[in-house]
Amino acid sequence: MAAGLGFKDFTTGEVLTAADVDGYLMQGIWVFASAAARDAAVTSPQEGNACYLKDTNQVLTYSGSAWVAVLSISFNAQTAAYTLVAGDAFKLVTVSDTVSRTVTIPPSVFTAGQIINVQRIGTGAVPFAAGAGVTITSTGATASAPTLRAQYSAASIICTASNTFTVLGDIA
Answer yes or no: do 31 and 81 share one domain.
no
Domain span at residue 138 reads: 74-169
Residues 61/50, Cβ–Cβ less than 8 Å: yes
Answer yes or no: do 35 and 118 share one domain.
no
Percent of the chain topping pLDDT 70: 93
Mean pLDDT score, 93-121: 97
Domain boundary among 10, 37, 70: 70
pLDDT in tens, 127-147: 999 999 999 999 988 889 999
Strand, coil or helix: what is 145? coil
Domain count across the chain: 2
Answer yes or no: do 134 and 89 share one domain.
yes
Answer yes or no: do 48 and 78 share one domain.
no
Say which amino acid occupies 62: Y
For the cut 80, the answer to whether the pLDDT of residue 2 exceeds it is: no
Say which amino acid occupies 19: A
The reported pLDDT for the residue numbered 6 is 63
Global pTM reads 0.64
> Residue 105: inside a domain, yes or no?
yes
17 pLDDT tier (thresholds 50, 70, 90): confident
**Selection from 109, 106, 104 nearest residue 55 by Cα:** 109
Answer yes or no: do 58 and 83 share one domain.
no
Residues 105/134, Cβ–Cβ less than 8 Å: yes
For the cut 90, the answer to whether the pLDDT of residue 164 exceeds it is: yes
Answer yes or no: do 94 and 122 share one domain.
yes
Answer yes or no: do 98 and 139 share one domain.
yes
> Residue 115: inside a domain, yes or no?
yes
Higher pLDDT, 72 or 122: 122
Answer yes or no: do 43 and 83 share one domain.
no
Answer yes or no: do 114 and 65 share one domain.
no
Residue 150 and residue 147: Cα distance in Å, rounded?
Answer: 9
Residues 131/104, Cβ–Cβ less than 8 Å: yes
pLDDT in tens, 35-59: 999 999 989 888 888 999 999 888 9
> Residue 12: inside a domain, yes or no?
no
Answer yes or no: do 114 and 155 share one domain.
yes
Answer yes or no: do 59 and 128 share one domain.
no
Burial 26-53 (b: 16+ CB within 10 A, else e): ebeebebeebebbeeebeebeeebbbbb
User: DSSP letters along 81-140, please?
Assistant: -EE--GGGTTEEEEE--SS---EEE-TTS--TT-EEEEEE-SSS-EEEEEPTT-EEEESS
18 pLDDT tier (thresholds 50, 70, 90): confident
Answer yes or no: do 99 and 128 share one domain.
yes
